[in-house]
Amino acid sequence: MKVIGRRAMMYLAHPTRIWKAGKSGRIVKFAREMGFSPVNPFTCGDFQDFEGGAVGRGGTIQWTLHLQRGCYWSGYFGISEGVMQELRDRLNWDADKCMRVFYEDDSGVPFDPLWEEEYAVLSKKFGDLLAELRGPHRIIALVGSRAVGKTYWSERLLKLPGVKCERVRNTTTREPRNEQDRQYYNFVTKEQFSEKAEEKEFLEYVHYDSHYYGSSLREMREVLQKSHGIFAITPEGAAALYRCRFEMNVEFVLMKAPPAVFKKNLERRGIFDPAFQEKYIKDSERFVLPPSIPHQTIELIGMRCDESRVFDVLSPLLSQH
């Protein structure tokens, strides 16, 4: 699905050296494949007339700041003094933080090989702008299959004294199972879901059991403005969220359990059919995270010691500011 209207416009902030190396096209292609209409400052005016000509670097930077202000989104694909000025400027005026930070492409290849080196030097002058973008709060992403206990333990954690945390609701097209279900999901029609997808509201979304489920970036950011956030996500969603690590503070926790615990949890939900139980237990096998995504693992065994296992891992993450 493709974004329509002004929301499609993304300013592509990247160093001059990337353009000189002929690598801007890769960034433009990446943004376009994501559904954005890319605005590349290096093709909005000839280099020989702007940065390399009469306008000069200073004048060009002032012009690109105005160009960026005309775009609904800014995407940051590398680090340089010019990019840091553009990031600083947008942080000053964009309260909604319509900013995305892209360190690598879909194959895991960095857009800017000098990212870390340049940021270490330039942050001494501009400050830690990416930390400012991320803010003081963090997202706790619980990865685990249905009936592993994500909702139960989230509720327990939210009630702990001294924990400043809110639930991040996912979006789905299925019907609510009960009134309490509305605490965990935003329920929308398929048409509304499609509109949100077209406006790039979802970090990722999946089609499961005839329904759509999406993780809303807007919902995450709204929660993070006030407190820490906690929510459940699929392994595919975790991979997408990990790519947001420069724009949000993210902690991943994988929750696992043996078949006997799954069976007991399913029966608590009124699911006694052996075929359905086997299906859910089989589905749980795909809920894993690769070593490339830093995470902690909680092994649940269905006993009282599970409480200390969960609280020992998650309480410190939610209590720190």
Per-residue model confidence as pLDDT tens for the chain (321 residues): 455 678 889 999 999 999 999 999 999 999 999 889 999 999 998 889 898 999 999 999 999 999 999 999 999 999 999 999 999 999 999 998 999 999 999 899 999 999 999 999 999 999 999 999 999 999 999 999 888 989 888 888 888 887 789 999 989 999 988 888 888 889 999 999 988 887 778 888 888 778 998 888 888 989 999 999 999 888 888 998 999 999 999 999 999 999 999 899 889 888 899 998 898 888 888 889 999 999 999 999 989 999 999 999 988 887 655
- Is residue 150, in this structure, part of any structural domain at all? yes
- Is residue 117, in this structure, part of any structural domain at all? yes
Contacts of 210 (CB under 8 A, 6+ apart): none
Rounded to an integer, what distance in angstroms lies between the CA atom of residue 141 and that of residue 38? Answer: 30
What is the helix (H) or strand (E) element at residue 20, kind and residue range? helix 16-20
Question: Is 269 found in the same domain as 187?
Answer: yes
Question: Is 78 found in the same domain as 163?
Answer: no
| pLDDT for residue 1 | 46
CA distances from 48 to 20, 177, 264, 281 (A): 12, 62, 70, 62
Question: Is 164 found in the same domain as 96?
Answer: no
**Are 311 and 268 within 8 A, CB to CB?**
no
| pLDDT for residue 4 | 65
| pLDDT for residue 207 | 84
Cβ-based neighbour number of residue 315 at 10 Å: 14
What is the helix (H) or strand (E) element at residue 118, kind and residue range? helix 115-126
Question: Is 71 found in the same domain as 149?
Answer: no
Question: Is 150 found in the same domain as 81?
Answer: no
Q: What is the CATH number of the domain that holds 42?
A: 3.40.50
Question: Is 177 found in the same domain as 143?
Answer: yes
- Is residue 304, in this structure, part of any structural domain at all? yes
Question: Is 213 found in the same domain as 97?
Answer: no
**Are 309 and 295 within 8 A, CB to CB?**
no
| pLDDT for residue 100 | 95
Q: Which residue, 101, 129, 157, sits at the end of a domain?
A: 129
Q: Helices 81-93 and 115-126, interaxial angle, to 10°?
A: 60
Range of the domain at 107: 6-129
Rounded to an integer, what distance in angstroms lies between the CA atom of residue 59 and that of residue 38? Answer: 22
Q: Which residue, 129, 160, 185, sits at the end of a domain?
A: 129
Question: Is 121 found in the same domain as 161?
Answer: no
Rounded to an integer, what distance in angstroms lies between the CA atom of residue 23 and that of residue 276? Answer: 50
Rounded to an integer, what distance in angstroms lies between the CA atom of residue 137 and that of residue 249? Answer: 7
Q: Helices 81-93 and 56-69, interaxial angle, to 10°?
A: 40
- Is residue 64, in this structure, part of any structural domain at all? yes
Q: Tokens 């694909």: give the residue.
A: 77
Rounded to an integer, what distance in angstroms lies between the CA atom of residue 215 and that of residue 195? Answer: 14
- Is residue 1, in this structure, part of any structural domain at all? no
Number of folded domains that form the chain: 2
- Is residue 215, in this structure, part of any structural domain at all? yes
Q: What is the CATH number of the domain that holds 289?
A: 3.40.50.300
Question: Is 309 found in the same domain as 277?
Answer: yes
Question: Is 91 found in the same domain as 209?
Answer: no
Q: How many residues does the chain have?
A: 321
- Is residue 286, in this structure, part of any structural domain at all? yes
Question: Is 143 found in the same domain as 121?
Answer: no
Q: Which residue, 67, 96, 129, sits at the end of a domain?
A: 129
CA distances from 33 to 3, 46, 196 (A): 11, 25, 17
CA distances from 289 to 10, 60, 66, 311, 318 (A): 31, 44, 41, 21, 21
DSSP 6: G
Question: Is 214 found in the same domain as 107?
Answer: no
- Is residue 151, in this structure, part of any structural domain at all? yes
Phi then psi for residue 48, to 5 deg, are: -65, -20
